[in-house]
Amino acid sequence: MAARKQIWDIVNRGSVIASALITAALVLLFCFAAAEENPSPADGPLLQLSVTDVTLHKGKTLAVRVTVQNMPANTKAAKYEWDSSDPEEAECRNSTIRASGGGEAVLGCTVTLTDGTALRAECRVAVVVPVSGLKSENRNLTVMKGTFFPRK
């Protein structure tokens, strides 16, 4: 009986050690993953927009804050340029998004630093057109709240 208890104690200690090793490996894995997602100052400058995905009603505007993180010393943002994948849907001027169509566009902001480094960030904009009226020959029409119909 004592031999069985000694074997059981060894197995339990082995399980505890194995569990501790697995836990330590997982902690290290998550730490490295978090470090990759959250750049440190050594990773260089990073451009961030206050919004990266937004839905706006046609005709509305939204101010966007542009931030450069980890900017090198003695460096400034020299030039801001905005572009749009579809200017008829949405565009950005002077860091203000204007929703003008009824679809989607990707807005890009490129910031050039005084040392020549170019940084880029993007924002997806979905533009919705409020319904001003419905006309149908069908007497049974169902409209679901939140339904989006892109302009064709």
Q: Where would I find the beta strands (DSSP E) of the chain?
A: 46-49, 53-57, 61-63, 66-69, 77-84, 90-93, 96-99, 104-113, 118-128
Largest distance between two CA atoms of the chain: 89
The model's confidence at residue 22, banded by pLDDT at 50, 70 and 90, is low
Residues 67 and 122 in one domain: yes
Q: Is position 5 within any domain?
A: yes
Task: Give the Cα separation of 46 and 39 in Å (integer).
Answer: 8
Residues 32 and 56 in one domain: no
pLDDT score of 23: 57
Distances (CA, A) of 138 to 107, 134, 142: 40, 11, 10
Q: Is position 147 within any domain?
A: no
Of the listed ranges 24-33, 51-60, 128-137, the least confidently predicted one is 24-33
Q: Is position 142 within any domain?
A: no
User: Mean pLDDT over residues 81-98, rounded?
Assistant: 95
Residues 106 and 56 in one domain: yes
Residues 28 and 66 in one domain: no
- Number of independent structural domains in the chain: 2
Task: Give the Cα separation of 127 and 98 in Å (integer).
Answer: 9
Question: Is the pLDDT assigned to residue 124 strictly greater than 60?
Answer: yes
Q: Pick the residue with more confidence: 36 or 145?
A: 145
Q: Is position 138 within any domain?
A: no
Question: Is the pLDDT assigned to residue 121 strictly greater than 50?
Answer: yes
Task: Give the Cα separation of 44 and 57 in Å (integer).
Answer: 37
Tokens 């836990």, residue located: 23
The model's confidence at residue 21, banded by pLDDT at 50, 70 and 90, is very low
